Every structure is written in structure tokens, then in C-alpha cells.
């Protein structure tokens, strides 16, 4: 969306109401602190100090939010004056009491503005926080210096390191705000508070003088604890460590010096690649829902959901639908299966009860919306059915024939297949325009990614309905085209193959997993295989055996492992050993012997791989296939590939996703790697034409994100 930037006077209005100067930040959609807003705020505070009639100042946001923070879109551009710390310092220096009245978002720089004000009142819907860490940043307008003074080092560190939002009531008990107000009128609440303050001759009260750090020993203990915790939990991250050190500075140095040092550390965060990666992720997950069908067509009615299959997947999807407030009808083939399906659903809620996150009464209320049946006729009235049965095209086609027979006209018929041809499934019905893929990831009630797979004949309003369902379920939807594996599993198959080649050429599966973890993934590919169950990939490999190019290199290690019945965690053994149900595996010398035997069979002399080379190959394979997926239109844009991997495959968020990572490394470098590797195996390492084209034109993947 391109709009003309507002002038300072438009972005920040001020008007005198009796003795009070009301400053309204009006910068839709979320009142971010753009250059115009900063300039407008400066001018308004100058006016307040200069005007003798004014006895107090009120700052509010126009609309549903106070201020959502710095304008993230400006990061990376040349900073324009005044800086936000200057604005905050100017507000704090105001000679008349300044009140901030908060509703909706008061986040990041928004909360820093509020903390620079002298008094704060919050409406019930306010959410306060210092979420900069989630963008690879730290508070950079006094947050690390003022928050510890206002609420103490421990609470301030917790807020800044978690980035979580705090509701009004908690903000009051933390001391972030002075009082709560009823209703949804921030201006009325703020004016009332300001009048009260004037009536009681309340002084200007500056946060720089607050005493939250007075107990130095307690503050130091909190900093030490946070430092140790951050070293453990955030070792790959840049900004959390800067946050801890900034609070140390706030304790050790005078206010103004601490502000200067905070600014330097903030600018170092701005310059870090992690900031670029995390901010890309922030915008990508908001862009991903902007697909042509959702823009073109309204969703169909979506009040009830049917699910075929009560296995782990079907039950997980049922929980997602129930949690979204929808009634769910589950159909299974016999009474025992439906009882098992219900039990699978209940197990999720019982787990929550055990952890104290749900009451038994709430479970009863949710389960009242669940019903099971062995008769497809139970789907006669549902708006959308999701099939989650065995991954076999003939079984799925049979299910869809039944759905076609019983469902009402206009019902959306969805399949949860992860590989199969949805065009073929749609063709087995008399209504292919209603058939779509909804690929949930396991466990479906927890994993955020939902691939919305769009077959050739589906109508736009069905796609739009799928996006509406994702929103209700709080999933992150990505539009994908039909191909074997869609976006995620198709790319996974290729980089998994690269990992297999690296293994056969000399690195152990354990070295590969370690390199991948070192890159920032929670787990390596062989650990993932063990977690998911090696038998699943084995079945897919068998299915593909007939169509595999006989000239293509094929690594048999995983087959040898599976032939021994070693399917991973569930069998106590896979690529790793899991003694007595342990979840963390131990390296298995017998697996290494299998790898060795396979190498010998092919006459491969193993060689050393550094973690860096492992990752170059792993990422080059991922990016190359990603480019093919974009070129073929399976993914709309590179950012759709990024979001898929961030939310479905554990890709480290601070790297922004595989395509953003490639942009940051530089596409010429990635292509160079692929061409070098192609000398060993030209069939596997075939550069994607899109990648070659972009390099030839001096462009990167992000240029395609903007273009569509």
C-alpha cells in the first residue's frame, strides 16, 4: 500500500482544552513513530512549554492503539532527526506534568514514550510491552534505562528479554502504569486524570529520578541471573545479550551516559543481519495472507466443521477447530475407531488440565461441541469437511466419493494430504470447484503452519474460505500449488537428499545434525527423521522408487536402518539410540558401520566436512529448490517459502527464512556454490533458471516479493 507520508502537523495534532494541551498521534494503522510523528511530537511539546495557558499535557493515540512503536519500515534507511530518544527526553524534560493515556498497543517506542511521560493511565484493552527483541533489536529510546528505574531490574529484564505483552491489570501491579480506567475513551480517561493531578498540584515526576534501581544488590542479582539464562537460551542471538548489558550500564552509569551507550548498542542491533532477518519475518507473515483469491472473493459460510479420521492428525485438526469455537463432527469407520478418535481429542485437553491450563468444566464445555459418527450422513449440514485418513490415493478418492454423495451443495471439501495429487482427488468428485488441500503439520493443534493447496479447478471463494479458517484457528496460512510435496515437503526432500550425500561422502549423521543446530535449527535432519518415524520417509521412497531417475544418485543408508526395524524414537532406535524411551538420542556405532558399508559398496573414500561446508551444501540445495518452487508458481513469492520454513520446519527465525538468507548471503555466491557442486553431480545440482536470471539481472529474491 503506498500512501503519501503525513506531515508532522497531520501525524500529530495538538489542541488546547482549558488548561490541558492534548496531543493526538494519528498515523494509521498503528500510530508508529515515523519521522513525521517524531517531529510532530517535538513541536507539540515545545508548544506546551511555550504556552502559559497550558498547565498539563495529555498524549493519546488516535483510534484503537496508543503507539505500536518505532516505524519498522524506516529501519535500515538513513535515520532522520529527531531521534526517538531525543523525543522521549524532550517529553520527560517538559516543565508541565505530562500524562499518557494508553489503549490498545503501547509497545516498544510507544511504551518508551509513555515511560518518558510523568504519569500513565491504561484502559482495560491496553497491551504494553517492549517487544524489540523479537525483531532482533533492543529498546533504543530509553527503555533499558527507564524501565529498570520504573519497575526494577528483574521485571524490566523479563519484559525486554521475553518481548511479551502485558495487560493493563498486570501493568498496574508491575508499576508500569499508575492507574486503570473504565471504558474505551482514552481522551476522557486522560483528561480526567490530568484534571485530578492539577487539582492536587501534582508535580512533574520524571522516570529518570525513579528509584527502581535503589536496591543495587537486588538489581545486580537480577542482571546476573538474566546474563546466565541468556547465555544458555539465546546463544545464537545478538540482541538479548545487548539488553542484559544495557541494564548493567543503567545500573552502573549516570542516566545520560547510559542513554548514550544504549543508543550505540541499539544501532549495533540495527546493523545486525538478525534484525534484517527478523523484520523480514514480521512483514512476511503479514504479507502471506495477501493472495489473489482472498482479495477477489468473500469466504463462504463457515460455522461447522467435519473431520474424516480420528488418528493423531484428525484429532489434532479437531482440537484446532474446537479451539476456534467451531462445532466438530468426526466420522470414523466403526465404533471402536470413533471412540479412539474422541479419546485422542480428549487426551489433548486432559494434558492441558494436568498442566493447570484448562479447567475440567472448560473441557466439558468444549467437548459438548464435539460429536462422532460412523455414518457419513452426519456431514449433511457441515460447511467444511477435512479428510485426514491414510495417505493412499485410492483410499482418499473413495472418501471423496462419499463426501460428494452426502455433503450439501457448496460445502468445502478439503484433504489433509501431504504429497498426493489433489487435482486427481478433486476429479473423483462431481464438484472439483469445492475441493482444496489443507495441509496441517503434526501436531496439528500446535504447529502454526497451514499449507493451503490450490488445485486447478477450485473456485476463489473456497480458497478465501480456507484463509478464513486459518485465521479462526490462529494458523499461519501459506498458499501453495499442487505438486509432489507442495512447498515444504518438496523442498525438504531435496535438502534431505543433500544431507544424505554429505553423509555418504564423509560426514557422520551426528556431525551434520550438529552443524544444522549450530546454524540455529532446534534439531538436525536425522534427529527429525527419528522424531517423525523413519518408516514414513521409507514408505515415500518406496512409492517413488518406480519413477526415480536410475541415473540419479541414491543413498541407501536410511533404507538399511529401516530394514532393521529402527524407525526412530518410537522403536528406541533409529539414526540414534534412545535407551529406555529417552528423547535425546545417543550416537550409534552400528549406524556408523552401516554408513561405512554403504560407502565401501560404492567405492567412496570418506572425506572431512567442516560445519560451514555442510551448511553451504544444505542451504544451497534448499534455496535452489525454493527458487524452482517460486518459478513454477507453486509458491506465489519467495516470502511464502520463507514463512513455510519458519512455521513448519524449524528454520531459525533470526535468519528470516531460506530465501531471505540467500539474499543476505548474496545470490551470486549461492549460485557459485551450486555450480561448483554441479561438477561432482550435475544431475542433482542443476541451478534453478530463476536463480540464474536474478543473478544475471543483479536482483535478489526480495525484488519478487515486492513485484507480486
What residues line the site for ligand 3H9 (CB under 6 A)?
1, 29-30, 32, 68-73, 84, 105, 107-109, 112, 131-132, 135, 137, 139-141, 143, 283, 286
How many helical (H) and strand (E) elements, i.e. helices and strands, does the chain have? Answer: 31, 19
Reported as half-sphere exposure (CB side, CA atoms, 13 A), residue 3 has a value of 7
Closer residue to ligand 3H9 (CB): 34 or 415: 34
Burial 590-615 (b: 16+ CB within 10 A, else e): ebeebbeebbeeeeeeeeebebeebb
656 and 280 Cβ atoms separated by less than 8 Å: yes
- Contact between 484 and 490 under an 8 Å Cβ cutoff? The reply is yes
Give the contacts of 547 (CB within 8 A, at least 6 positions apart): none
- Grid coordinates representing 13 are 495534532
Q: Which is nearer to ligand 3H9, 255 or 282 (CB)?
A: 282
Nearer to ligand 3H9, 159 or 671 (CB): 159
Question: Between the CA of residue 527 and those of 198, 333, 510, 575, 623, what are the distances in Å?
Answer: 64, 34, 9, 7, 22
Burial track 320-331 (b if 16+ CB lie within 10 A, e otherwise): bbbebebebbbb
Bridge pairing between strands 305-308 and 384-387? parallel
Provide, rounded to whole angstroms, the least separation between the CB of residue 660 and ligand 3H9.
16
Whether 598 sits among the annotated catalytic residues: the reply is no
Q: Is position 112 annotated as part of the catalytic site?
A: yes
CA-to-CA dists, residue 14 to 27, 460, 653, 665, angstroms: 14, 46, 40, 46
Report, in Å, the least distance between residue 85 CB and ligand 3H9: 7
Nearer to ligand 3H9, 142 or 190 (CB): 142
Its sign, for the CA torsion 661, 665, 666, 671, is negative
By the 8 A CB rule, do 656 and 275 touch? Answer: no
DSSP per residue, 143-203: HHHHHHHHH-HHHHHHHHHH---EEHHHHHHHTSSSEEE-SS-HHHHHHHHHHHHHHTTPP
Nearer to ligand 3H9, 132 or 504 (CB): 132
- Minimum distance between the CB of residue 47 and ligand 3H9, rounded to whole angstroms? 23
- CA atoms within a 13 Å half-sphere pointing along the CA-CB vector of 11: 24
In terms of CB distance, is 157 or 308 closer to ligand 3H9?
157
* Smallest distance, ligand 3H9 to C-beta of residue 240, A: 15
3-class SS of residue 635: strand
Q: Which residues pair with 305 in a beta bridge?
A: 328, 384
8 A C-beta contact, residue 408 and residue 377 = no
Residues 464 and 297: beta-carbon distance below 8 Å: yes
Euclidean distance between CA atoms 425 and 423, whole angstroms: 5
Q: Which of 92, 132, 245, 511 is catalytic?
A: 132
Residue 68 or residue 659: which is nearer to ligand 3H9 going by CB? 68
Nearest Cα to Cα of residue 146 among 136, 134, 159: 159
Whichever of 67 and 386 has its CB closer to ligand 3H9, that residue is 67
- Prior bond to 509 cis, omega within 30? no
Nearer to ligand 3H9, 140 or 212 (CB): 140
Least gap, CB of 32 to ligand 3H9 (angstroms): 4
The x, y and z cell numbers of residue 543, run together, are: 512409492
User: Among residues 616 and 653, whose Cβ is nearest to ligand 3H9?
Assistant: 653
Instruction: Indicate which residue of 51, 74, 86, 112 is catalytic.
Output: 112
Of 76, 88, 102, 249, the closest CA to residue 165 belongs to 102
Give the residue ranges of DSSP H helices in 407-474.
Answer: 422-427, 460-472
Give, as one character, the DSSP assignment of residue 588.
Answer: -
CA 426 – CA 432 distance, rounded (Å): 5
CB of 63 to ligand 3H9, least distance (A): 11
267 versus 446: smaller Cβ distance to ligand 3H9? 267
Q: How far is the CB of 1 from ligand 3H9 (least distance, A)?
A: 5
Backbone dihedral angles phi then psi of residue 233, each to the nearest 5 degrees: -85, -25
Work out whether strand 119-123 and strand 179-181 pair parallel, antiparallel, or are unpaired.
Answer: parallel
Q: How far is the CB of 27 from ligand 3H9 (least distance, A)?
A: 9
Of the pair 146, 599, the CB lying nearest ligand 3H9 is at: 146
**Could you tell me where the beta strands, DSSP code E, fall in 532-634?**
576-577, 586-587
Q: Quote the cell numbers at residue 532.
A: 517423525
**Residue in the block written with cell 518508551:** 112
Active site amino acids: 112, 132
Amino acid at each position: 500500500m503506498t500512501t503519501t507520508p503525513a506531515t508532522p502537523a497531520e501525524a500529530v495534532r495538538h489542541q488546547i482544552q482549558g488548561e490541558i494541551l492534548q496531543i493526538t498521534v494519528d498515523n494509521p494503522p498503528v500510530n508508529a513513530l515515523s519521522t513525521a510523528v517524531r517531529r510532530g511530537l517535538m513541536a507539540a511539546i515545545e508548544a506546551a512549554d511555550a504556552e502559559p495557558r497550558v498547565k498539563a499535557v495529555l498524549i493519546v493515540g488516535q483510534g484503537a492503539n496508543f503507539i505500536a512503536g518505532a516505524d519498522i519500515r524506516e529501519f535500515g534507511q538513513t535515520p532522520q532527526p529527531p531521534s526517538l530518544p531525543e523525543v522521549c527526553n524532550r517529553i520527560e524534560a517538559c516543565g508541565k506534568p505530562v500524562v499518557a493515556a494508553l489503549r490498545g498497543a503501547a509497545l516498544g517506542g510507544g511504551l518508551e514514550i509513555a515511560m518518558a511521560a510523568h504519569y500513565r493511565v491504561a484502559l482495560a484493552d491496553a497491551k504494553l510491552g517492549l517487544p524489540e527483541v523479537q525483531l532482533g533489536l533492543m529498546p533504543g529510546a530509553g527503555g533499558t534505562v527507564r524501565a529498570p528505574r520504573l519497575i526494577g531490574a528483574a521485571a524490566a529484564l523479563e519484559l525486554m528479554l521475553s518481548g511479551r505483552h502485558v495487560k493493563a491489570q498486570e501493568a498496574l501491579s508491575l508499576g508500569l502504569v499508575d492507574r486503570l480506567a473504565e471504558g474505551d475513551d482514552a481522551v476522557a480517561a486522560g483528561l480526567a486524570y490530568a484534571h485530578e493531578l492539577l487539582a492536587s498540584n501534582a508535580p512533574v515526576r520524571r522516570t529518570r529520578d525513579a528509584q527502581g534501581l535503589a536496591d543495587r544488590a537486588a538489581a545486580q542479582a537480577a542482571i546476573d541471573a538474566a546474563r546466565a539464562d541468556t547465555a544458555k537460551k539465546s546463544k545464537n542471538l545478538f540482541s538479548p545479550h545487548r539488553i542484559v548489558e544495557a541494564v548493567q550500564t543503567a545500573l552502573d552509569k549516570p542516566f545520560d551516559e547510559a542513554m548514550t551507550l544504549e543508543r550505540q548498542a541499539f544501532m549495533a542491533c540495527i546493523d545486525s543481519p538478525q534484525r534484517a532477518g527478523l523484520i523480514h519475518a514480521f512483514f512476511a507473515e503479514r504479507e502471506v495472507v495477501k493472495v489473489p483469491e482472498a482479495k477477489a472473493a468473500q469466504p463462504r459460510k463457515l460455522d461447522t466443521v467435519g473431520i474424516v479420521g480420528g488418528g493423531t492428525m484428525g484429532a489434532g485438526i479437531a482440537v484446532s477447530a474446537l479451539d476456534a469455537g467451531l462445532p466438530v463432527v468426526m466420522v470414523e469407520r466403526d465404533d471402536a475407531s470413533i471412540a479412539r478418535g474422541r479419546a485422542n481429542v480428549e487426551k489433548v485437553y486432559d494434558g492441558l488440565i494436568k498442566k493447570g491450563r484448562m479447567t475440567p468444566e472448560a473441557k466439558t464445555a468444549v467437548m459438548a461441541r464435539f460429536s462422532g459418527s460412523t455414518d457419513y450422513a452426519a456431514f449433511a449440514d457441515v460447511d467444511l469437511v477435512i479428510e485426514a485418513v491414510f495417505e493412499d490415493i485410492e483410499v482418499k478418492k473413495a472418501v471423496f466419493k462419499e463426501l460428494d454423495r452426502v455433503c450439501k451443495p457448496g460445502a468445502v471439501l478439503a484433504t489433509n494430504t501431504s504429497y498426493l495429487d489433489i487435482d486427481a482427488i478433486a476429479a473423483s468428485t462431481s464438484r472439483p470447484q469445492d475441493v482444496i488441500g489443507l495441509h496441517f503439520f503434526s501436531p496439528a493443534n500446535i504447529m502454526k503452519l497451514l499449507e493451503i493447496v490450490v488445485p486447478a479447478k477450485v473456485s476463489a471463494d473456497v480458497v478465501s474460505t480456507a484463509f478464513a479458517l486459518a485465521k479462526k484457528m490462529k494458523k499461519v496460512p501459506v498458499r501453495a500449488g499442487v505438486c509432489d510435496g507442495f512447498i515444504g515437503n518438496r523442498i525438504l526432500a531435496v535438502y534431505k537428499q543433500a544431507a544424505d550425500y554429505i553423509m555418504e561422502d564423509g560426514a557422520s549423521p551426528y556431525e551434520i545434525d550438529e552443524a544444522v543446530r549450530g546454524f540455529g535449527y532446534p534439531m538436525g535432519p536425522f534427529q527429525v527423521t527419528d522424531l517423525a518415524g523413519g518408516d514414513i520417509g521409507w514408505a515415500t521412497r518406496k512409492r517413488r522408487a518406480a519413477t526415480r531417475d536410475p541415473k540419479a544418485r541414491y543413498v541407501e543408508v536410511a533404507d538399511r536402518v529401516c530394514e532393521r526395524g529402527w524407525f526412530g524414537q518410537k522403536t528406541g532406535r533409529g539414526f540414534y539410540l534412545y535407551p529406555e524411551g529417552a528423547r535425546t538420542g545417543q550416537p550409534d556405532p552400528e549406524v556408523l558401520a552401516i554408513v561405512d558399508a554403504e560407502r565401501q559398496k560404492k567405492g567412496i573414500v570418506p572425506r572431512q566436512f567442516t560445519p560451514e561446508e555442510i551448511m553451504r551444501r544444505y542451504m544451497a540445495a534448499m534455496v535452489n529448490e525454493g527458487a524452482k518452487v517460486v518459478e513454477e508458481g507453486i509458491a506465489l513469492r519467495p516470502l511464502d517459502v520463507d514463512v513455510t520454513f519458519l512455521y513448519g520446519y524449524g528454520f531459525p527465525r533470526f535468519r528470516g527464512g531460506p530465501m531471505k538468507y540467500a539474499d543476505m548471503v548474496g545470490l551470486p555466491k549461492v549460485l557459485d556454490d551450486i555450480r561448483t557442486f554441479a561438477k561432482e553431480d550435475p544431475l542433482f545440482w542443476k541451478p534453478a533458471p530463476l536463480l540464474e536470471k536474478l543473478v544475471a539481472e543483479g536482483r535478489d529474491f526480495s525484488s519478487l516479493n515486492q513485484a507480486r
